[in-house]
A and B are shown apart, each in its own frame.
Chain A
Amino acid sequence: MTFWEEFLPALFKGVLTTLEMLAIAAPASVALGILLGTLRVYGGRVTSLIATAVVVTFRGFPLLVTLLLLFFGLADLRIYLTPFWAAVLGFILCSGSYQSEYVRGAIRSIDIGQSLAAKAIGMTKFQEVMYIILPQAIRRALPGISNEIIYMIKYSSLAFVVGVQEMFAVGKHFNSIYFRPIEIFLTLAAIYLIMTTTATIFFKWLEYKLRIPGIEMGV
């Protein structure tokens, strides 16, 4: 078999694994980001403190450290995560923390009149946040959130350090056997470029679809 006949099928499997990780981690990170951002603004003393601690930690740690911590570090505590789930959890915590900053900023940028009007018609704090504040804040945070998801696509390549057989792991493996770095890594580069470019177009479209005159999305 030629090099390509061996490489491409294996690479395809790797791409599927990458997509699998992202399919779970991306939505979950958005959810976490919204949760942490909201808790930091509206949470009580303890809750917002915990949320802040989470954000400061996982923004401050390099993603690599988080991944190694989840896979190897937790093992010290007898908590054994599989490579796949250690990686996915790492992505969620890291990206979610970065996204929470955009959400938090967006919430704080909503003018106080919206909150007053919600109160004035008798809404509870919960109703106010759910029906009036968050729908506006999430739209404002969307550019930042999209940005972070695109970062996640690229940083998914680090999952190999905990043993996940995703795209990059396959490329690295084949390079060590066949030693064809230009072909292998340019192919990987091309695939990543297709993914990130597609995601960029998708998010631009999403921003367009969700736009509401009067709510500026560039905050």
Chain B
Amino acid sequence: MEAIENKVVEPPSEESVLVDAARAGDIGAFESLVRRYDRNVFRIAQHITQNREDAEDVVQDAFLKAYQNLGQFQGQSKFYTWLVRIAVNEALMRLRRRRPERMISIDEDVKTEEDSMPREIADWSPNPEQLYTHAELKDILGKTIQGLPPSFRTVFVLRDVEGLSTEETASALELSVPAVKSRLLRARLQLRERLNKYFKRRDGDTKL
């Protein structure tokens, strides 16, 4: 006698219902997906391109491309991870167009480990972000991240700003998990080094 298997069929998520409806031509459903992720896509695009007009174009082009290619979305990854992959490619393409003299690729790697080795070991002030006004802090953070190679910047933004897991970041960027981890470590250490000059403890700071 055959064993009866109780297969648990999970109900489709709200997101997969929206994706299916959009695939069938429901633009209202697609607009709901846009509302859900537009802020994330804009942040990612602006971090990569470092240019507001480019970021705006990337958001439009990425969503349009996603809509046009919904038929190819297999549902094996999350819709958001798939969308991020499209958005990152669009953003890198714009960056290449703007800086054709520089080779820009997500596969770009750094030659040595030296670039990320801590050079300055200084403790930071308690609550370093409170040393500056909101506008000053934004300026510092923007300038600092801009100095990272695009391949590091992208991994850092997806992983640490947008909160994707290492596996999701690897899938979105078509990189291996060890490659994501290696870039993430270097990005974090390089940013830390560059922020030292703004946040390090000064004379007169109260020691914790």
Is A bound to B? no
B interface residue numbers (CB < 8 A to A): none
A interface residue numbers (CB < 8 A to B): none
